[in-house]
Amino acid sequence: RPQRPPCPQNAKYGTCSLRKMSAMEALDLLDQVVDESDPDVDFPNSYHAYQTAEGIRRAHPDKDWFHLVGLLHDLGKVLALFGEPQ
């Protein structure tokens, strides 16, 4: 199998040393991001995360791991606050 070249993002973020924060702190930071794919939304990005998690909870009450995934699914967008493109 051919070896893949090293990923520059892994080198930059792989150590998780840029900034440490809890998931709740990241959800709060998410509200500072203006999503380029949907800039006209009038509610905070964290609201979407909670809506998603709640919708999944209603549809799949027995899958608590899935509720968590719904809550966290957009957290990567906070990298835009650190200069990464959306």
Tens of pLDDT along 40-79?
Answer: 778 888 999 999 999 999 999 999 999 999 999 999 899 8
Q: Is residue 5 part of a domain?
A: no
Residue 12 within any structural domain of the chain = no
Give me the number of domains the chain comprises. Answer: 1
Q: Look at the block and give the residue holding tokens 């995360």.
A: 49
- Show the domain range for 59: 20-82
pLDDT averaged over the chain? 88
Residue 4 in any domain: the answer is: no
48 has binding-site annotation = yes
Q: Is residue 6 part of a domain?
A: no
31 belongs to an annotated ligand binding site: no
Burial of 1 (0-12, 13-18, 19+ CB in 10 A): exposed
Q: What pLDDT sits at residue 75?
A: 92
In a domain, 77, yes or no: yes
The answer to the question of residue 11 being in a domain is no
Q: Is 73 annotated as a binding residue?
A: yes
Q: What is the pLDDT of residue 58?
A: 98
Q: How many CB atoms lie within 10 A of CB 3?
A: 5
